[in-house]
């Protein structure tokens, strides 16, 4: 594990967007009513937001970024860097950050690049952008994080289709010599690459004759090789094995106390995984552990900022808070962060 610190960074604002289209898992006709009810009870996911054809990941990040810049009254000429974290970019090339740099009307000297990460992406993105700004040479930056996960799931795959929702977000960071230190603990294990995987479509396998063949894996699970596949047991075991030790080590090395944490904001994997992690961490005050699963599902890289603004915005806007953020999943990749925030802007959730 990599324990690292970032100084001189102030979180100024967060905004997030979801599609207006709601899909209820009670209406998921591929499985029986009993299976639907059991799925909701186990995962905690009642409904999800699904982006229509033609709405891309960058669309879901553009509006939050645009509105956040306006609310902060930032001069666009002062924004020095834009990072886009996604595993569902608009195109293979060019990167989505470059597209958004132009679409937002930012200066040509603005750094813009993508990071290919999923569930851990928000924590990694905070670390990367924070490091770029911490020296003071770059003053202001935008972290754009989101995924259109539903584009890669098959309706006939009950292991994946009802889990995921679509969302995008924007987080504004600014150089601040008086800001408290941010602490990060980051890790990866590529031996778990097959647990969450899309086999075809990339440069290794490309598009082949059987890419679009619907293959039945087991009853209720049929998908094409261009679709997302999940090994639920392996993912569950990974989360129980790695997440709580990562968080515990972060607290130990930073000399911080869980008792002083106002909110724990974990990636919204599913209720069974997240509650198992909470219990392993011995977090007794369940009100401190935020959930947006019920209304939005697993929103991949956007789940942490989405959860922050939908479940805790009143307190984040009005007072200082100690936050524990933790992302984990595809890769395997995982990481946690301890950040202290002064009151900052949380825009109301944007529906597209």
298 a catalytic residue: yes
Q: Which residue has the tokens 């075991």?
A: 237
324 is known as an active-site residue: no
From the candidates 8, 298, 321, 346, give the one annotated as an active-site residue.
298
Closest-CA residue to 122 (of 54, 50, 171) = 171
Please name which of 9, 6, 7, 13 lies closest in space to residue 313, comparing C-alpha atoms: 13
Written as one string, the DSSP assignment of 157-197 is: BTTTTTTB--EEEEEEEEE-TTPPPEEEEEEE-GGGTTTEE
Structural contact between residues 298 and 269, judged by C-beta atoms closer than 8 angstroms: yes
Q: Quick check: is 340 catalytic?
A: no
* 25, 110, 185, 267: the active-site residue: 267
- Non-local (6+) Cβ contacts of 77 within 8 A are 107
CB 1 within 8 A of CB 186: yes
SS3 for 236? helix
Which residue among the candidates 119, 324, 326, 346 is catalytic per the annotation? 119
Ramachandran bin of 8, using left for φ above 0, alpha for ψ from -120 to 50, beta for the remaining angles: left
According to DSSP, the β-strands at 9-18 and 167-175 are: antiparallel
Distance in Å from the first CA to the final CA of the chain? 38
**Residue among 2, 25, 14 at smallest CA distance from 294:** 25
Catalytic residues: 119, 267, 298
């Amino acid at each position: 594990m990599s324990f690292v610190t970032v100084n001189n960074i102030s979180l100024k604002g967060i905004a997030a967007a979801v599609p207006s289209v709601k899909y209820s898992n009670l209406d998921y006709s591929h499985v029986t009513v009993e299976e639907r009810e059991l799925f909701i009870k186990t995962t905690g996911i009642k409904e999800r937001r699904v982006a229509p054809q033609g709405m891309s990941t960058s669309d879901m990040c553009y509006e939050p970024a645009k509105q956040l810049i306006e609310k902060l009254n930032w001069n666009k000429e002062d924004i020095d860097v834009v990072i886009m974290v996604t595993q569902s970019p608009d195109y293979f090339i060019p990167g989505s950050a470059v597209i958004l740099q132009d679409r937002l009307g930012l200066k040509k000297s603005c750094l813009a690049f993508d990071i290919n990460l999923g569930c851990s992406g928000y924590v990694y993105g905070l670390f990367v952008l924070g490091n770029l700004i911490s020296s003071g040479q770059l003053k202001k930056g935008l972290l754009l994080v989101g995924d259109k996960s539903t584009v890669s799931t098959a309706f006939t795959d009950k292991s994946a289709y009802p889990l995921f929702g679509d969302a995008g977000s924007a987080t504004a960071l600014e150089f601040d010599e008086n800001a408290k230190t941010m602490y990060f603990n980051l890790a990866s294990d590529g031996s778990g690459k097959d647990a969450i995987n899309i086999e075809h479509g990339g440069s290794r396998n490309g598009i082949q004759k059987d890419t679009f063949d619907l293959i039945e894996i087991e009853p209720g699970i049929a998908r094409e090789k261009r679709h997302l596949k999940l090994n639920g047991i392996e993912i569950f075991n990974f989360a129980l094995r790695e997440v709580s030790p990562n968080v515990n080590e972060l607290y130990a090395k930073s000399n911080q106390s869980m008792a002083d944490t106002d909110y724990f904001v974990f990636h919204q994997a599913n209720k069974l995984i997240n509650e198992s992690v909470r219990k392993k961490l011995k977090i007794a005050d369940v009100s401190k552990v935020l959930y947006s699963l019920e209304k939005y599902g697993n929103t991949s890289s956007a789940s942490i900022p989405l959860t922050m603004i939908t479940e805790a915005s009143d307190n984040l806007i009005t007072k200082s808070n100690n936050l524990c953020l933790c992302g984990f999943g595809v890769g395997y990749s995982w990481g946690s962060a301890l950040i202290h925030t002064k009151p900052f802007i949380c825009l109301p959730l944007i529906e597209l």
